[in-house]
């Protein structure tokens, strides 16, 4: 069975490489790209159990519905001036992101948040960086009516426009038994998005028992990921939920770069107190400097200030740049950020502490992260990896070795106490989790 999958994976890989090459010249509309097609569930590492739990009972997957959803996903007529589709910011060849720090909406307006990938979004417990919508169905409607994303006036306008297109009349009747409604539009789009599941990575093959699937360096990185790097505490992997996310919200200090949390939070509370519902929340998150408050906008709980959802890590070499504001260009920058203990702020998560990772350890960790690439994105990821590697040799804006090593360094002269809460010997692993792959 396993061998069959490998062969299947190799075939797919070859096939995909051709497609990727072709997709690069395919122009803006990628709806015909194989990368846009529903993906098979028979992938190494695919969480069948979990997938069964995340399909909503009131919106089962059917081929006709998925096809309809796909058409809607790529249809620019869902935007006010017919220039933006969902796919404009969630491009299949770019890992269903736009690879920009923040996204370009109608009339070239830019929001405050980095476009998260659609890949494996089916498995998110909550949607958006701040979890302001619970499901893919709920999520799908917000960008359509956001003034600087797709800019439709309201949902009635969306429904009217869809129903005015004969092709859609026919298809909605076939799939949902009547003219389009907003919720059915959302259901169709969500159904399509749930087909974008992407596993089959070298890491998945390693975990399935192929010791040669990842390099020795990546294996060291996997050990760091689970040990000294403390990554797994939020980005944990297990076979039941292999998504590398705890689906929780953490302040790691990203928006402390440019936000004054306290006055912002006061301002947000005052605005929210007037009560504008989901749409107001969406606009605050996308269009204002209150975006940096993150989860707080949704819960109004002080401990959620500056907290953002833990993103999954799969295919992260095609979903750059990183963090909720797209502020970091390379994985080295991301690791540097964590290594120095994030950016200090009063709401910083108590688990974010300096890590004391050395330069080789950082390289190992990034090498591991690169193994999370699915085969259909392998060549694009290799290009990006080389680009980031090159950049990281000359530019490391987030690096702060003194902070990472406990201010004065663990072995600095006369320094007896670990300032940065760094243990003396975290290289020692009770057990290298890399060995798990050999079972």
Partner 1 sequence: MHRYQVALLLAAGGLVSSAGMAIAPRVLNAQQPVAHHPVPATKNGNVVVMLCDGKTSLEIKGLKPGHTMTHDQATAVARQLMQKWQRAHPGELWQMAQEEGTQMRPTTTEQGNPSPNLPSAPNQPPSGEAPNPVPHPANPVQEQVQGVPVHRQAQPQQQGDTYASFNQRDFRVWQAETQKFVEYGKRVFHSDKLLGGTIGVSCDMCHPDAANTHPETYPKYQVQLQRVALLRDMIEWCIENPVKGATMSPNDPRLRALEAYILAQRKGVPLNYGKH
Partner 2 sequence: MAVRHKSVETKYMEQRDAVLRGLRWLDRRSFLKAAAAAAGAVMARGLMPPHSFQLIEIANAATSKDFGTVGHQGSAPFRIAYISDSHLYERTLNQRFIRAIVRAVEDVNALDPQPDFVLYGGDLAQLGTRQQLDLGRQILAELKPPVKMMVGEHDWFLDLGDAWQEMFGPPNYSFDWKGVHFVVLMSVHEKDFWTARHMTPMERMRTVAGLDNPIQSRFEVGEEERKWLAADLAKVPHTTPLVVFSHSPLYKYYRDWNFWTEDAEQVQALLQPFSQVTVIHGHTHQMLFNRIGNINFYGMLSTAWPWPYAPQGLPPLTIQMNRADPFDQLDGCGDGQFMMRADGLVDTIYALWDRNPVSVPAGYLLSGGKSDRPPAPQFASY
Q: Catalytic site residues?
A: 149
Pick the stretch among 18-26, 55-63, 326-334, 417-425 that binds partner 1 (CB under 8 A): 417-425
Told to check if 34 binds partner 1 by CB under 8 A, we report no
Considering only 32, 260, 382, 427, the residue that binds partner 2 (CB under 8 A) is 260
Decide: is 51 part of the binding site for partner 2 (CB under 8 A): no
State in angstroms the smallest separation of the CB of 269 from partner 2.
7
Binding flag, residue 411, partner 1 (CB under 8 A):
no
Q: Which of 51, 215, 418, 432 binds partner 1 (CB under 8 A)?
A: 418
> Cβ contacts of residue 346 below 8 Å, gap of 6+?
261
Cβ 418 to partner 2 shortest distance, Å: 7
Cβ closer to partner 2: 70 or 250? 250
- Is residue 430 a contact residue for partner 1 (CB under 8 A)? yes
Residue 177 in the binding site for partner 2 (CB under 8 A): no
Report the C-alpha gap between 54 and 42 in whole angstroms: 17
Q: Which of 135, 327, 339, 373 binds partner 2 (CB under 8 A)?
A: 327
We find the least distance from the C-beta atom of residue 244 to partner 1, in angstroms, to be 10
For residues 81 and 217, what is the distance between their CA atoms, to the nearest angstrom? 49
Cβ burial of 11 (10 Å; 0-12, 13-18, 19+) is exposed
Q: Which of partner 2, partner 1, none binds 327 (CB below 5-8 Å, type-dependent)?
A: partner 2
**Nearest residue to 253 via CA among 318, 347, 187:** 347
Instruction: Tell me the window of 129-137, 259-267, 356-364, 427-435 that interacts with partner 2 (CB under 8 A).
Output: 259-267
Write down how long the chain is. Answer: 439
Among 58, 350, 393, 428, binds partner 2 (CB under 8 A): 350
Residue 58 interacts with, from partner 2, partner 1, none (CB under 5-8 Å by kind): none
Q: Which of 246, 144, 153, 131 has the alpha carbon at shortest distance from 188?
A: 144
Q: Is 175 one of the binding residues for partner 2 (CB under 8 A)?
A: no
Check residue 425 for interaction with partner 1 (CB under 8 A).
Answer: yes
Of 27-35, 188-196, 325-333, 424-432: span binding partner 2 (CB under 8 A): 325-333
Our finding on whether 336 is near partner 2 (CB under 8 A) is: no
**Distance separating alpha carbons of residues 224 and 358, to the nearest angstrom:** 11
Angle at 8 between CA 209 and CA 317, to 5 degrees: 70
Q: Does 429 bind partner 1 (CB under 8 A)?
A: yes
Question: Residues 318, 95: contact at Cβ < 8 Å?
Answer: yes
CA angle (381 as vertex; 377, 382 as ends), nearest 5: 120
Give the H or E element holding residue 261.
helix 261-273
| Nearest distance from C-beta of residue 436 to partner 1, angstroms | 8
Say if strands 249-250 and 308-309 run parallel, antiparallel, or are unpaired: antiparallel
Does residue 271 contact residue 234 with C-beta atoms inside 8 Å? no
Q: Which of 134, 412, 117, 155 is nearest to 298 (CA)?
A: 134
214, 261, 229, 230: which is closest to 372 by C-alpha?
214
Query: What is the rounded CA–CA span in Å between residue 367 and residue 346?
Result: 33
DSSP 3-state percent helix, strand, coil across the chain (nearest 5): 50, 5, 50
Choices 166-174, 230-238, 276-284, 285-293; region in contact with partner 1 by CB under 8 A:
230-238
Beta-bridge mates of residue 249: 309
Chain-centre distance of CA 336, in angstroms?
19
Query: Which CB sits closer to partner 2, 5 or 324?
Result: 324
Q: Which of partner 1, partner 2, none interacts with 18 (beta carbon under 5 to 8 A by kind)?
A: none
Which residues in this chain contact partner 2 in the complex, by CB under 8 A? 233, 256-262, 265-266, 269, 300-303, 305, 327-329, 333, 343-346, 349-351, 353, 395, 397-398, 407-408, 415-419, 421
Which residues in this chain contact partner 1 in the complex, by CB under 8 A? 226, 232-233, 236-238, 246, 417-418, 421-426, 428-430, 433
């Amino acid at each position: 069975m396993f061998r069959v999958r490998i062969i299947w994976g190799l075939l797919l890989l070859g096939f995909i490489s051709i497609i990727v090459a072709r997709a690069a010249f395919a122009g803006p509309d990628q709806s015909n790209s194989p990368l846009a097609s529903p993906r098979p569930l028979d992938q190494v590492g695919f969480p069948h159990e979990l997938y069964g739990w995340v399909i909503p009972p009131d919106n089962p997957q059917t081929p006709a519905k998925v096809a309809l959803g796909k058409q809607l996903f790529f249809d620019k007529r869902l935007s006010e001036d017919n220039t933006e589709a969902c796919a404009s910011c969630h491009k299949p060849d770019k890992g269903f992101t736009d690879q920009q720090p923040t996204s370009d909406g109608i009339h070239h307006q830019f929001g405050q948040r980095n476009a998260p990938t659609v890949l494996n979004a089916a498995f998110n417990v909550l949607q958006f960086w701040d979890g302001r919508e619970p499901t893919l169905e709920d999520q799908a409607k917000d960008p359509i009516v956001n003034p600087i994303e797709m800019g439709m006036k309201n949902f009635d306008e969306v429904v009217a426009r869809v129903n005015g297109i004969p092709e859609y009349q026919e298809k909605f009747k076939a799939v949902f038994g009547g003219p389009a409604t907003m919720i059915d539009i959302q259901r169709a789009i969500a159904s399509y998005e749930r087909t974008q599941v992407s596993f089959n990575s070298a890491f998945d093959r390693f975990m399935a028992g192929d010791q040669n699937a990842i390099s020795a360096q990546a294996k060291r990185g996997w050990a760091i990921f689970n040990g000294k790097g403390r990554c797994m505490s939020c980005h944990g992997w297990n076979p039941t939920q292999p998504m590398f996310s705890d689906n929780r919200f953490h302040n790691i200090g990203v928006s402390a770069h440019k936000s004054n949390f306290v006055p912002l939070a006061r301002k947000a509370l005052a605005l929210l107190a007037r009560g504008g519902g989901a749409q107001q929340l969406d606009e605050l998150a996308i269009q204002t400097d209150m975006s940096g408050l993150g989860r707080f906008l949704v819960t109004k709980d002080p401990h959620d200030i500056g907290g953002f959802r833990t993103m999954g890590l799969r295919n992260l070499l095609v979903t750059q740049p990183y963090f909720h504001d797209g502020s970091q260009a390379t994985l080295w920058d991301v690791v540097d950020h964590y290594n120095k203990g994030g950016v200090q702020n009063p709401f910083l998560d108590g688990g974010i502490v300096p890590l004391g990772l050395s330069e080789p350890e950082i390289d190992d960790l990034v090498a591991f992260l690169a193994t999370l690439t699915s085969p259909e994105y392998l060549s694009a990821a290799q290009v990006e990896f080389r680009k980031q590697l090159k950049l990281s040799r000359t530019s490391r804006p987030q690096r702060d070795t003194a902070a990472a090593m406990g201010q004065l360094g663990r072995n600095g002269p006369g320094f007896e106490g670990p300032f940065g809460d760094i243990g003396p010997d975290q290289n020692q692993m009770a057990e290298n989790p890399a060995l798990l792959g050999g079972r």
